[in-house]
Structure 1
């Protein structure tokens, strides 16, 4: 069986860590800096980092629009942290992103830094639906993480957090990993641990499994 071809958007963020996790999950991996490098990919990871910086760096070569077009043609996309913001159909506090294209397509509304500042970073063990060894929690690292405030129809929640976002109240469970068709989004950084099961799920999605 041919290994899925997966790209990692390499404008900013934990690119090398995603490359490592995808390769360990059985994918053929390459980094992506410009639209031509999307050709032939089965999937693309949009990593964490700073969503406004990524959108600005992508603008001159219209990279966000090219990713959207390739997704419309069948390519799977996985957005983590800032990547989730760029995938979201709606951003509650999008002022800093005004004038710049995003990928869009994932029918959620998110709030940037919805779990607080860098000082509010935390790790949480999550039950994630659909992963192998589902009974074993996934250790998730949250750093200036976006909060998913609203879900559209057809968006499946794979995991929810017990930690309240800045707009929430204690005791509420907020979605932190979601799937819609060939789109996967996570508020956290799955690449910062040795657990590659979420990357394995994405490789299976990209390969059409």
Structure 2
């Protein structure tokens, strides 16, 4: 099982390290055609406007939408969360518009207001360590979105089917359990696809 990390900006090596520790193969994704070689994708942090511009420049926008349309899991952290959101507070144009959430950029303040905390996340037994750096905030979610964790009653982790987002940087700690959660999402989806393919193949042979 291979999970790609979009390598346009952000802590690519740190995400790959966490993926490896979680039991999967992590690879940097620099070209659109490399998306066909992976089972899941992580969009890391950085600066969302810059990431959006680079994605448009290198033709990643429609390619990642097509990747998502195949129900292949995508995990957005910090700026990656913003990139996946359908709506961004204010006048900024949204990017991929894949996840039914409204987000606010830099909601937790600037660089000097960065902090670490322990978070309880649905589906993970013990608290995880989260690093917030110029972090966005999920203001609201659609009916199909599951809230996985909050910080001071504000939504910071959420899931919509094959899409997972976090306001913080799980890759900047030694705690890789959120990456393991994503690896499990990818494994389950790959298994579901394999079983579906097998049933279609058997039905085809029967006819």
Bin the TM-score by the shorter chain.
0.7 to 0.9
Deviations 1:56-109, CA, capped at 9 Å, x for gaps: 1121221022111111012110000000000011111353xx4xx722211100
Is contact 1:19–1:30 with CA below 8 Å preserved after alignment? Answer: yes
- In the TM superposition, what are the counterparts of 1:106-145 in structure 2 within 5 Å? 106-131=99-124, 134=125, 136-145=126-135
Structure 1 match to 2:140: 150
Residue 40 of structure 1: how far off its partner (Å): 2.7
Structure 1 match to 2:165: 185
Q: How many residues in Structure 1 have an aligned counterpart in Structure 2? A: 189
Structure 2 CA distance for partners of 1:92 and 1:20, relative to 1, 3 Å: same
Residue 7 of structure 1: how far off its partner (Å): 0.2
Structure 2 CA distance for partners of 1:7 and 1:94, relative to 1, 3 Å: farther
Residue 97 of structure 2 is aligned to residue 104 of structure 1: yes
Is contact 1:78–1:183 with CA below 8 Å preserved after alignment? Answer: yes
Which protein is richer in helix relative to its size? 2
| CA RMSD of superposed structures (Å) | 1.2
**CA distance in 2 between partners of 1:26 and 1:103 (Å):** 28
Return the index of the structure with the highest Cα Rg. Answer: 2
Structure 2 match to 1:52: 49
Deviations 1:160-185, CA, capped at 9 Å, x for gaps: 002xxxxxxxxxx0110001100000
Is contact 1:58–1:64 with CA below 8 Å preserved after alignment? Answer: yes
TM-score with structure 1 length normalisation? 0.87
Residue 7 of structure 2 is aligned to residue 14 of structure 1: no
Q: Unpaired segments of 5 or more residues in structure 1?
A: 163-172
**CA distance in 1 between partners of 2:71 and 2:102 (Å):** 23
**Which of 158, 175, 179 pairs up with 2:155?**
175
**CA distance in 2 between partners of 1:61 and 1:138 (Å):** 34
TM-score with structure 2 length normalisation? 0.88
Q: Unpaired segments of 5 or more residues in structure 2?
A: 190-207
**CA distance in 1 between partners of 2:37 and 2:184 (Å):** 16
